Amino acid sequence: MLVIPVIDIKDGKVVRILEGLKNQTEYYCESPVNVAKLFRKENFKTLHITDLDGAINGEMKNFPLIAGIIKSLDIPIQVGGGVRNFDTVRIMIEELGVYRVVIGTAAITNPDLVKQIIKEYSASKVVIGIDEKLNNVVQNGWVNYANITPLDFAKMMEDIGIKRIIYQDVTRVGNLTGPHIERLIELATQTNLRITSAGGIHDYKDLEELSKIENLGIDSVMIGRALYENMFPCQKLWREMECEDISLELPKVKGI
């Protein structure tokens, strides 16, 4: 199973937001670029970045930082948070070099955007983020209910050509309570989608539980807090980050 480290960016820093509540923010590091380099040093094969400012405000705010991370690494990087229009997608893919964009709220409010991305770039360049709270999809940075179940939303996306989703129960995000196994099984058995599990991972035991259902198409997992707080025994052997801020001339992004 592919493990994907998560870098959540808010106010230009690496953070964790517990259960999506804006008033429960914990700052981990001043430099997202340093964190990205550390993950690469630890031999991770891909990376997920969320622009939390964009997710909440509806417009991506951290293009220069994201561009700096992509320029610094040699692995594919997927990015989400505030991707609400095709021009943003074009800039991300064509100018920043983002491997894959993650669409959440916009897929609910504007399914035609998803269709346009698939038409222009193929289904391999887009993944749909399904964020659940109490069997209801939430949007706009987990603030508003969309009045659709995760399964119905997944089926709708599959019907328009999506091949992969990222699923997470937002009540588990950042609190290390484990993934929502039952929902993952439901999504995997009632669709033909490939699924990335996100949210709630505590330690290697959670990874073992996910590996038991990997054959259903749940082939990857995104991890944030558990990595930052060294929940895996092997991290003590090779983690040496002090996370000192370094000067970095961020590349300019055309049109931003």
Would you give the DSSP letter of residue 40?
H
| Secondary structure element (H or E) that encloses residue 9, with its range | strand 2-10
The string of DSSP codes covering 73-106 is -SS-EEEESS--SHHHHHIIIIII--SEEEESHH
Q: With the C-alpha atoms ordered 66, 71, 73, 78, is the resulting torsion angle positive or negative?
A: positive
- Report the alpha-carbon distance of residue 9 to residue 137 in Å, rounded: 22
Identified catalytic residue from 53, 131, 169, 206: 131
Active site residue 8: yes
Q: Which two tokens stand for residue 139?
A: 């949007």
- Report the alpha-carbon distance of residue 232 to residue 28 in Å, rounded: 17
Active site residue 53: no
- Report the alpha-carbon distance of residue 220 to residue 255 in Å, rounded: 34
Q: What's the Cα-to-Cα distance from 133 to each of 25, 225, 248, rounded to whole Å?
A: 19, 20, 38
Identified catalytic residue from 8, 53, 169, 206: 8
- Report the alpha-carbon distance of residue 34 to residue 244 in Å, rounded: 8
Positions annotated as catalytic residues are 8, 131
